């Protein structure tokens, strides 16, 4: 009898332990769900007020919204930025940030009011404000985009977006987000280069000016009929070609950049053959154009001067300026590349 009662007591005790454990687990799950709902509401509120729907995070807010994986139902897609690197034309951080914002706004627009709209949030972080997070997540180069999924207990193990040449557009970023979250971003709608109102205004202006333009063309009274305009255009095209202007436009090179050793100073000439600033190209283009104009002056103007002494003087001035310009270009090339130009006498002269 006593043994039976003792067995019953053990069963009751075991049952009570099981009930307590279940209650604790249920309470923990309910608590996690309530905490998750609270965080989602906060993120939704910040998303509504953020430019383009991209939420700005720092070290503290990253830990709050991504530091715990337990019970987290949403993903974070984080764009890592650095203000001091915006001048680097090769990185194109400003353009990439705009593409990221375009992709984020497209997702928000296409998923507004749906459960999927509460599953992904787009964020950015600034290096100066979040150096601890950059170090913790192993961000040692830019551009850098990471997906922190609901199951990422360790932020360093979050998924990095490949940064190849094709990954620098909103469409590629959208494909990465869709692959990791299994949610649709939607078609990227880029704003038109010319709005409808601007197009109507341009068309009206062209129609209004058409009679006057036709009349001037028929009378031969346009800049196109002016030889001086063609001369100026030829000089401009020559300067444009020799100054590396196309390189500056394609690479979006700045005219100058801040000195890395002293932020209060600016650098116009960059030492090294791999990069050329805009001001440097314009300086070299000016020297090339100067020599070309002096050559044209010597061949087309000087021969018409009657005084031989004046001709000799003008020739001497032109040669001196040309020698100075060529010397400056050679010295700049030597400073940038380390290669020197040497003159050699013909062997027959030795």
Question: Does 165 score more than 70 pLDDT?
Answer: no
pLDDT value of residue 246: 83
- 43 and 136 inside one domain: yes
Query: What confidence tier does 5 reach under pLDDT thresholds 50, 70, 90?
Result: low
Q: How remote is the C-alpha of 40 from its chain's centroid?
A: 30
Query: What confidence tier does 29 reach under pLDDT thresholds 50, 70, 90?
Result: very low
CA-derived radius of gyration, the chain: 34
Looking at every residue in the chain, the average pLDDT score rounds to 82
- 146 and 234 inside one domain: no
Closest by alpha carbon to 120, among 70, 179, 163? 179
Among 153, 181, 209, the domain boundary falls at 181
Contacts of 148 (CB under 8 A, 6+ apart): 66, 75, 76, 77, 78, 155, 158
- 150 and 235 inside one domain: no
Is residue 6 in a domain?
no
Q: Which of 157-171, 188-202, 214-228, 256-270 has the highest mean pLDDT?
A: 188-202
- 54 and 115 inside one domain: yes
Among 158, 181, 204, the domain boundary falls at 181
CA dist., res. 32 & res. 16, Å (int): 24
Contact 124, 78 (CB under 8 A): yes
Question: Does 14 score more than 90 pLDDT?
Answer: no
- 150 and 263 inside one domain: no
CA dist., res. 117 & res. 107, Å (int): 8
Q: Does residue 186 or residue 248 have the better pLDDT?
A: 186
Is residue 161 in a domain?
yes
- 52 and 167 inside one domain: yes
Query: What confidence tier does 316 reach under pLDDT thresholds 50, 70, 90?
Result: very high
- For range 339-345, the mean pLDDT: 72
Between the alpha carbon of residue 160 and those of residues 80, 124, 144, 254, the distances in Å are 11, 14, 7, 30
- 28 and 147 inside one domain: yes
pLDDT value of residue 253: 76
Helices (H), strands (E): how many in the chain? Answer: 10, 7
Q: Considering only 25-29, 49-53, 151-155, 316-320, which range has the smallest mean pLDDT?
A: 25-29
Angle between helices 308-337 and 278-300 (to 10 degrees): 160
Question: Does 320 score more than 90 pLDDT?
Answer: yes
- 160 and 251 inside one domain: no
Question: Does 276 score more than 80 pLDDT?
Answer: no
CA dist., res. 44 & res. 40, Å (int): 6
- 163 and 251 inside one domain: no
- For range 298-320, the mean pLDDT: 91
- 176 and 278 inside one domain: no
pLDDT value of residue 113: 87
Domain boundaries, position 167: 23-181
pLDDT value of residue 350: 59
Question: Does 28 score more than 50 pLDDT?
Answer: no
Is residue 284 in a domain?
yes
Q: Considering only 35-39, 93-97, 249-253, which range has the smallest mean pLDDT?
A: 249-253
Establish how many alpha carbons lie within 13 A of residue 2's alpha carbon, considering only the half-sphere containing its beta carbon: 0
Is residue 132 in a domain?
yes
Among 181, 215, 237, the domain boundary falls at 181
- What are the tokens at 162? 């490949």
Tell me whether residue 54 is exposed, middle or buried, using C-beta atoms within 10 angstroms of its C-beta: 0 to 12, 13 to 18, 19 or more: buried
Q: What is the CATH number of the domain that holds 27?
A: 3.40.30.10
Is residue 104 in a domain?
yes
pLDDT value of residue 315: 93
- For range 74-98, the mean pLDDT: 86
Q: Does residue 336 or residue 229 have the better pLDDT?
A: 229
pLDDT value of residue 26: 44
- For range 47-62, the mean pLDDT: 91
Q: Does residue 262 or residue 332 have the better pLDDT?
A: 332
Beta carbons within 10 angstroms of residue 298's beta carbon = 17
pLDDT value of residue 27: 45
Q: How many domains does the chain contain in total?
A: 2
- For range 95-121, the mean pLDDT: 91
Pairing status of strand 55-57 against strand 120-126: parallel
- 169 and 241 inside one domain: no
Q: Which of 68-82, 273-287, 304-318 has the highest mean pLDDT?
A: 304-318
Tell me whether residue 13 is exposed, middle or buried, using C-beta atoms within 10 angstroms of its C-beta: 0 to 12, 13 to 18, 19 or more: exposed
Question: Does 214 score more than 70 pLDDT?
Answer: yes
Is residue 233 in a domain?
yes
- 166 and 52 inside one domain: yes
Closest by alpha carbon to 151, among 83, 76, 203? 76
């Amino acid at each position: 009898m006593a043994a039976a009662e003792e067995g019953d007591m053990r069963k009751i005790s075991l049952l009570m332990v099981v009930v307590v454990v279940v209650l604790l687990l249920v309470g923990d799950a309910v608590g996690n769900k309530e905490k998750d709902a609270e965080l989602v509401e906060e993120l939704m509120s910040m998303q509504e007020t953020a430019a383009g729907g991209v939420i700005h995070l720092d070290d503290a807010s990253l830990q709050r919204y991504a530091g715990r994986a337990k019970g987290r139902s949403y993903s974070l897609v984080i764009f890592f930025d650095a203000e001091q690197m915006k001048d680097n034309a090769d990185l194109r951080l400003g353009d990439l940030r705009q593409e990221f914002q375009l992709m984020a706004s497209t997702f928000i627009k296409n998923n507004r009011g749906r459960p999927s709209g509460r599953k992904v949030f787009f964020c950015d972080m600034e290096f100066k404000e979040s150096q601890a997070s950059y170090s913790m997540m192993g961000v040692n180069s830019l551009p850098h985009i990471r997906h922190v999924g609901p199951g990422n207990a360790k932020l360093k193990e979050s998924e990095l977006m490949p940064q190849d040449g094709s990954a620098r557009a909103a469409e590629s970023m959208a494909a990465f987000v869709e692959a990791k979250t299994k949610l649709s971003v939607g078609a990227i709608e880029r704003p038109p280069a010319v709005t409808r109102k601007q197009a109507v205004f341009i068309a009206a202006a062209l129609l209004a000016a058409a009679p006057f333009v036709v009349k001037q063309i028929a009378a031969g009274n346009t800049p196109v009929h002016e030889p001086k305009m063609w001369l100026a255009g030829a000089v401009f095209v020559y300067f444009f070609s020799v100054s590396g202007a196309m390189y500056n436009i394609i690479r979006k090179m700045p005219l100058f950049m801040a000195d890395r050793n002293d932020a209060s100073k600016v650098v116009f000439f960059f030492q090294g053959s791999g990069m050329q600033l805009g001001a440097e190209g314009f300086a070299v283009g000016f020297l090339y154009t100067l020599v070309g104009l002096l050559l044209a002056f010597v061949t087309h103007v000087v021969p018409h001067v009657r005084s031989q002494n004046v001709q000799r003087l003008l020739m001497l001035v032109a040669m001196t300026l040309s020698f100075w310009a060529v010397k400056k270009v050679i010295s700049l090339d030597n400073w940038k590349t380390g290669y020197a130009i040497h003159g050699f006498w013909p062997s027959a002269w030795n």
